[in-house]
Structure 1
Amino acid sequence: MGLFEGKKGLVLGIANNFSIAWAITQKLHEQGAEMAFTHLPDGERPKNEKKVRKLVEPIGAKFVMPCDVCDDSHIEAVMDKTAAEFGKIDFLLHSIAFAPPADLTGPTYACSRKGFATAMEISAYSLLAVTGAAKKKGILNEGASVLTLSYFGGEEVIPGYNLMGICKAALECEVRYLASELGQDGVRVNAISAGPLKTVSAQGVGDFDQMLSLYAAVSPMRDNIDMDDVGKSGMFLLSDLASGITAEVIHVDKGFSKMGAPPADFADSMKS
């Protein structure tokens, strides 16, 4: 019997098969979870919907529907559908982030007011919006788990991460406040801070290949993580095995974030 047999959840933010949320979803499915999904709304052609459906329908998605997290009516519709299909859920996975490319690729001091507001609304406020809507609807079971995705650039300066680092700092703070406020209902809230992976979001980060080489050279395990690493960690945090863990940002980065200085063999490893 799997860890998620009889458990139901909502996954927001899968973009394609390279999404961290998809890696976690696969592990949840292997453990018996029943899930519903949202996708970024499409224009005239259902490109985003098709990508998500192609992934999740073979694993028995309960439903797939659009959700613009900047529109409260979209969020309310998703929660209404979730309540109608599931009654209550045992987990909510939030994997949503965006910053306008012009504001993300330049220095933070040059970020536009509108770009900052857009990035913060989608990348940070959306966690408050969807979690708050789920609580208001009363669909979170006692013992439910909420998980979001962050990155080390929200704690320290990572050149190229820029505006998104500011958004992730806000997101991680939200995790702590939400955990405090929802804990009395038995709901846990955590984040995974994953090492660099080749996702859609990573395409907007400058010198990404150099970042991969740096992580492999500096991390205690002298390696980068892969999707399987973060998928298993996400599944664990959403499961009852993590029943005593809340308000945490769990680093899944082969130890990179704990290194105060490069290892002794750093220079040699970067030459090879």
Structure 2
Amino acid sequence: MKTLEGRIALITGIANENSIAYGVARSLKARGAQLVVTYVNDRTLDFIKPLLPDLDPALLLKCDVADDASLDATFAAITDKFGKLDIALHSIAFAQKDDLHGRVVDTSREGFMQAMDISCHSFVRIAHRAEPLMKDGGTLITMSYYGAEKVVPNYGVMGPVKAALESTTRYLANELGPKKIRVHAVSPGPVQTRAASGIREFGLLIENSIQHAPLRELIDIDDVGEATAFLCEDGAKRITGSVFYVDGGINIVS
């Protein structure tokens, strides 16, 4: 069913065919949304070019969320082309390897600020620019992880950063709710993405999820895409501010 027919969706964070953002983009496209796909640099563009025929984006834009001028140009292009925006996906996270692999207590000021800026505050910057374009309401989605709530070995500084991201989600939901703009953090279980490959002993997280999640199986990017698409549909119009787990139930297990 084309439940998102006529909706315009901004997609950030596609790095390759294993990216969660790619799974979300496919699900939104299948429901009729027109996609605005962004890439951070020319190297990333080379990786995602094979995916573009599948997504058939209405706009393909270079966008570095750490650069305000780049974000401004992206939203100016959306305004010129469509005059509105209905959905924005923030699927971006970054931390220096030493800060991700090391102890939080040893994190440098610069490393902490960089991780927070790219992984959390960039969602605020996107929301700020999306708000005036969501004239009839809309949905803002970011991607979190269980390490925001509990200590996950080898997740390092990204745990506190994701905790800040989930709190930010709640505050944005409260502030933008009167404009019918809904805000969610989707929290997938372990998925073998390029970002996940930077987590030391990630294979142990995969193994633990298979052994202990109630459903005894891994999720994939299409599972995340389908759940995210639901949150953007009218059937979810009374839901906002949630952390929406797509993890086979591992979050309920001690």
TM-score bin, normalised by smaller chain: over 0.9
- What SS does the corresponding residue of 2:139 show, helix, strand or coil? strand
Matched, 1:69 2:65: yes
| 1:105-184 equivalence runs, <5 A | 105-135=101-131, 138-184=132-178
In 2: Cα distance, 1:205 partner to 1:152 partner? 14
> TM-score normalised to the size of structure 1?
0.90
| 1:40-55 equivalence runs, <5 A | 40-41=40-41, 46-55=42-51
In 1: Cα distance, 2:15 partner to 2:233 partner? 23
Task: Sort the Cα spacing of 1:163 and 1:133 in 2 relative to 1 into closer, same or farther, 3 A.
Answer: same
In 1: Cα distance, 2:52 partner to 2:127 partner? 22
In 1: Cα distance, 2:217 partner to 2:14 partner? 26
- What SS does the corresponding residue of 1:146 show, helix, strand or coil? strand
**Superposed displacement of residue 58, structure 1:** 4.0
**Superposed displacement of residue 5, structure 1:** 1.2
Specify the alignment match of 1:269 in structure 2. Answer: none
Q: Is contact 1:147-1:191 (8 Å) kept? A: yes
Q: Which amino acid aligns with 1:59?
A: L
Identical residues among aligned pairs (%)? 38
In 2: Cα distance, 1:40 partner to 1:74 partner? 10
Runs of 4+ in 1 over 4 A off after TM superposition: none
Root mean square deviation of aligned Cα: 1.2
**Superposed displacement of residue 57, structure 1:** 4.2
Q: Is contact 1:53-1:64 (8 Å) kept? A: no
Deviations 1:145-194 (A, max 9, x none): 11110000011000011111111001000100000010000100001100
| 1:2-17 equivalence runs, <5 A | 2-17=2-17
Structure 2: which 5+ runs fail to align?
Answer: none
In 1: Cα distance, 2:67 partner to 2:78 partner? 17
> TM-score normalised to the size of structure 2?
0.97
In 2: Cα distance, 1:146 partner to 1:125 partner? 14
Aligned length: 254
Q: Is contact 1:19-1:199 (8 Å) kept? A: yes
**Superposed displacement of residue 141, structure 1:** 3.4
Pick the aligned partner of 1:102 from 98, 105, 124: 98
In 2: Cα distance, 1:234 partner to 1:243 partner? 13
- What SS does the corresponding residue of 2:140 show, helix, strand or coil? strand
Q: Is contact 2:3-2:32 (8 Å) kept? A: yes
Q: Is contact 2:92-2:119 (8 Å) kept? A: yes
